[in-house]
Amino acid sequence: QKNLSILSPDQVELAKMLLEMRQAHLFEDWPDPGVEDDEKIAFIDQVGLLNSSYPGGLASYIKTARELLADSKAGKNPFDGFKPSVPSGEVLTFGDDSFIKYEETGVKQVQNAAFVLVAGGLGERLGYNGIKVALPLETTTGTCFLQHYIESILCLSEASCKQAQGESRRDVPFVIMTSDDTHARTLQLLESNSYFGMKPTQVKLLKQEKVACLADNDARLAVDPKNKYRIQTKPHGHGDVHSLLYSSGLLKEWKDAGLRWVLFFQDTNGLLFKAIPAALGVSATKEYHVNSLSVPRKAKEAIGGITRLSHADGREMVINVEYNQLDPLLRATGHPDGDVNCDTGYSPYPGNINQLILELGPYIDELSKTGGAIKEFVNPKYKDATKTAFKSSTRLECMMQDYPKTLPPSARVGFTVTDPWLAYAPVKNNPEDAAKVPKGNPYHSATSGEMAIYRSNSMILRKAGVKIDDPVPGVFNGQEVEVWPRVVWKPKWAVTFADVKSKVSGNNFVSQKSTLVIKGSNVTIQDLSLDGTLVIDSVDDAEVKVGGLVQNNGWAIESIDKDNTALPEEVRIRGFKINKMEQLEKSHTEPGKHTLNG
């Protein structure tokens, strides 16, 4: 009470709110006015930030926390009364007629889309010291995730412009959600690389704030053990992206500019853009308000399952059920075997990959009601079975894919499943944890992430008629993987299957030991036989025809010891490096027609 005199009227209101919310313990050890006043003001400033960055303010946070903590203590099942079943969605088969049609439709829509990358997570499971978007998605070229994402967006937007001839061109907006853990390094990566070719005005960084930690079941805010003038905070989860987009005013800006779609994606999925155009085509064709891109999921794989939940009272929703909840939910509802593969070799529940496509109009309508607040959950680790005390403080969390939970039944919520090799290969697990993944399930590691790029590109070239050798098995960092030829191309060479098909003709062959890197946009491959390494680059207005026999020692994949600290961390987490022995490397810097005949 005495200390109120040192606060401004707004700060007094915040302090009173805390007292009303039974948070008096926060002020318990405060000395008299005149002692440590700056620290007290800093404390109230932090309270102000926590209050303003949460939809509904801190009082609402504490109230929700009390309810969720009571439910957790009572062991309440969040799916009480709901029965799971396998939902039906659009199933895409890469390269068939319907895929190509959806791709074409999707590319047209890119000019009406905004892209949102959630990159606030530090990737504790990966144990990498840098930000994840700075990691190379493959080490053949060393391109980092952020560069690949930006170039893909730019090229898709370019392709979209070309298709929509005559219509005015616009710079597709790109938002990156960062956090205190990633913000400065993400900005620095962009600035030191000239935004990888994007206009800086196209890119907006929105920083998510952490939320207050909770010390007990009464939702008393946890004080930092090292500083009594600081409330402990932890990340709130990627669900924050919705309230941030809403409160930043960007959604309204986009709507006024005539945009129609918002696409969300995560930090380390190097395959994603191979399926984006087709998935956007599905959204446009089916007029989905929410379209969740998903992949066939192995039972018990550490990704959520897209599930239809039907309640006895008539409520229905198609929603992600997290992998740790899916098995108990199935067992409790008449599926005694729980989460198991069916005869396809996959779980019948498609895997959630957090690639969401939302239609902007209905999205804004919903957020005008909710302010972007997403249904939260709490996951306290209790000291014992009485559930009266926590091992360490907890906090509320939210996930972006829970957005549909508040939607009315009339909302058009769908999903699109792609081939298992096409769209998902995240880099999340450190080598030790990846090596423990059950045999046959994806590792989700830097090793498997890179190998998946080569596999996917090789498969796409095969679909375009190129003869490609089968892969050979390899073991790196204790993980068994398939080693395909290292085929890599820049988005400006191809962003759709139609692009690939239009640039490949005749009888082409790539041997297993080969590396093919295509950097130039107008490079056509005709009657090429590659047994070694070929790297081909050109300026945009050059036309380069590549063919003939190219044979050299090439680049080899060599195992390395993950504990060899002389090697950079991004190499060690893969368990291999590329030994560049011999290559044919050609860069055409002059416009005009060129032929490379090996």
Site residues, ligand UGB (CB under 6 A): 118-121, 177, 179, 208, 235, 237-238, 266-267, 303-304, 320, 322, 352-354, 399, 426, 428
Nearest to ligand UGB of 350, 520 (CB atom): 350
Nearest to ligand UGB of 320, 445 (CB atom): 320
Nearest approach in angstroms of CB 574 to ligand UGB is 18
Nearest approach in angstroms of CB 326 to ligand UGB is 10
Residue 117: Cβ within 10 Å count: 25
d(CA 412, CA 418): 20
Nearest approach in angstroms of CB 295 to ligand UGB is 9
Nearest to ligand UGB of 238, 490 (CB atom): 238
Nearest approach in angstroms of CB 121 to ligand UGB is 3
The owner of tokens 């008629």 is 465
Nearest to ligand UGB of 126, 536 (CB atom): 126
Distance set, CA 35 to CA 11, 30, 39, 348 (Å): 18, 9, 9, 63
Nearest approach in angstroms of CB 149 to ligand UGB is 11
Nearest to ligand UGB of 44, 241 (CB atom): 241
d(CA 380, CA 234): 13
- Residue 551 CB-half CA count within 13 A: 3
Non-local CB neighbours of 159 within 8 Å, separated by 6+ positions:
107, 110, 495, 496, 499
Nearest approach in angstroms of CB 235 to ligand UGB is 4
Nearest approach in angstroms of CB 2 to ligand UGB is 38
d(CA 64, CA 87): 31
Q: Which segments of 218-291 does DSSP mark as H helices, in order?
A: 240-247, 250-256, 276-286
Nearest to ligand UGB of 84, 520 (CB atom): 84
Non-local CB neighbours of 102 within 8 Å, separated by 6+ positions:
92, 277, 278, 279, 281, 282, 285
Q: What is the 3-state secondary structure (H, E, C) of 23-55?
A: CHHHHCCCCCCCCCHHHHHHHHHHHHHHHHCCC
266: left (phi over 0), alpha (psi -120 to 50) or beta: beta
> How many whole angstroms from its chain centre is CA 343?
29
Nearest approach in angstroms of CB 397 to ligand UGB is 8
Structure tokens at 228: 């009594």
Nearest approach in angstroms of CB 402 to ligand UGB is 9
What is residue 395's DSSP assignment? -
Nearest approach in angstroms of CB 320 to ligand UGB is 5
Cβ proximity of 154 and 491 under 8 Å? yes
List, in sequence order, every residue forming a beta bridge with 473; answer none if it has no partner.
482
What is residue 136's DSSP assignment? B
Phi/psi for 513 (5° steps) reads -80, 0
Nearest to ligand UGB of 263, 517 (CB atom): 263
